[in-house]
Chain A
Amino acid sequence: MNRTRAVRLVAGREITERLRGRTTRLVTVVTAMLVVGAITIPGLIEESSRPTRIGLVGPAARSLAPTLQRGARAAKVEISLTEPASEAQGRAELRSGELDVLLNLAAPSQTAEVEVEQTLSPTIGALLSATVEQTRLDAVLAEARVPASKVLPALAARPIAVAALKPPAPNEDARIVAAIAAGLLMYVSLMLYGTAVATGVAQEKTSRTAEVLLATVPPGRLLTGKVAGIGLTGLGQLAIAAGAGLIANAVFQSAKIPASVWALLPAFLVFFLAGFVLYAFVLAAAGALVSRRKSSR
């Protein structure tokens, strides 16, 4: 018999029987749902999150409102501004949860007092600092009768220019995340489907089916067929889960995948498949080492 025919038959039986089994279908659906959930739920939670509510107390603080709104738009941060009647009322609103941040500034030259329930988000902190600094600068310039249009270009110009001999690759962060994701994917695939390969081989040996098979099919081809059949079923499940995840991401726009990551996809697939096949054969060999229940003469 043609060498590949036995491999195809063994692999075909594995795929057919596994797809016929309820467990495979259930695991496929559950995995896809978990992936879709992991992608969409954070997006949904984020979407439902409200803007940061900032209370402005004191005349100077109230004058910050337009600058704060402009800064928030530029930083893509959602804020809502209120003006409590007094510092005491603002603090009460902060305690009751109606406010997230209370900014108290009597005069531009003074230090702004910011009160929060527990912690101040770094983004909001940076926004408030920049706004107060800008306002203070505007006040100083106005007092010195220097037009802002003369000073601001000088501030906008880059004071230093940095030239790196080995600049980091573009989208390096995205690449690192993609590499970690690929490693995790390999780990999960081997945990789920590599183990299935080892278990499948061990079961065949302990159930003595291997004895009937080995009377016809050489061990190497039998093992290759098992690895191909169980591996392809597993990778098919993974592909369905990944496809569902990509569709969910496209619909909910949860994360933006840089074009450079897509460019890495062919290389990733080659190394992933090569790695999976290598490990799957090692695991299959480990499964074949499982001792039979009984060795008869």
Chain B
Amino acid sequence: MLEVLDVRHRFGDLLALDGVTLEVGEGELVGLVGRNGAGKTTAMRAIMGILRPDTGEVRWQGNPVGERERLRFGYMPEERGLYAQMRIGDQVAYFARLHGVEKRAAARAATHWLARLGLGERAQDQLVMLSHGNQQRVQLAVAVAHDPLLLVLDEPFAGLDPEAVDSLSEVLRLQGAAGRSILFSSHQLELVERICRRVVVLDAGRVIAAGTLAELRERFPAQLRVRVGSATDWASALDGVRVLQSDEDGVLLLLDPGVDSQAILRAAQRAGPVERFAFESAGLIDLYRQMISP
């Protein structure tokens, strides 16, 4: 299990990480979300030892993370960085060898992962000859070829076409199923919602929420969908109720904690025949908006 404990880091006057604490369990896919500049990349770089945090600690299986532990970590930075003129087969094998894999095993792993990611025929091509999406696949192959126990992926889906997104999602799902711990950041919240078990939300260098989607939902007011004939303005005067949306599908109401839904039902019935009355599960996008709204 990866544990990030009360990590703080400052760049000059800017407090990039303000006591960040999070964990990624074995076989768990954790999504790290937050707006640009929230501190996601800095947190990942601190985990990978690329920057040393001012205070706090990063632990793996209960021990402080050192050089030996990081050999079993795989990393995909936000700004992709590989050798443009190097053949991709050699490149994947080289990075696997830097992680301690023996020469032949590294070559086999490179062949396997390039084939798995649809680049088997292009192993002899230089990286620069590949499209952006394919270069990203190579970067993923570099991150996984040494069979890491922890994968830290910074925006792995950015700029990928839907087919590549599905392919990468499947790889992550299988890695998770194989017991690998995976932490990845993304602005594509529907993707995070689809493949992650838990989500950590960062804002201004602080963790403002963490947990499963169900746990996050419990922290925020429920959303109620009500359709009353053609009337739409009946709910605007109700106490503790905010109208999020009003259209031909009725109104979407956000209820403050403690508001009695039966009182809402009675108010709706007074306005006309109630055709629909149902609680809707808020998606990660809705929750995220509520979390970061001032």
Residues of chain B at the chain A interface (Cβ within 8 Å): 11, 16, 36-42, 45, 48-50, 67-68, 70-71, 73, 75, 77-86, 94-95, 97-100, 142
Contact = CB atoms under 8 A, between A and B. Distances in A.
A214 B73 CA distance: 12
A262 B190 CA distance: 74
Contacts of B48: 214-215
B81 A296 contact: no
Contacts of B50: 211, 214-215
B79 A297 contact: no
Contact of B94 (A9, A208, A215, A296): A9
A6 B101 CA distance: 11
Contacts, number: 69
A215 B77 CA distance: 10
Contact of B84 (A1, A207, A210, A216): A207
A154 B84 CA distance: 82
Contact of B79 (A6, A214, A296): A296
A156 B86 CA distance: 75
Given A297-B16, A297-B42, A209 B82 contact: yes
B41 A211 contact: no
Contacts of B80: 208
A72 interface: no
Contact of A297 (B37, B75, B85, B94): B37
10 contacts: A1-B71, A1-B100, A9-B94, A17-B83, A21-B85, A208-B77, A209-B81, A210-B81, A215-B75, A296-B79
A215 B37 contact: no
Contacts of A211: 45, 50, 77, 79, 81
A213 B97 CA distance: 12
Contacts of B82: 209, 212
B49 A215 contact: yes
Contacts of B71: 1, 216
Contacts of A212: 75, 77, 81-82, 95, 142
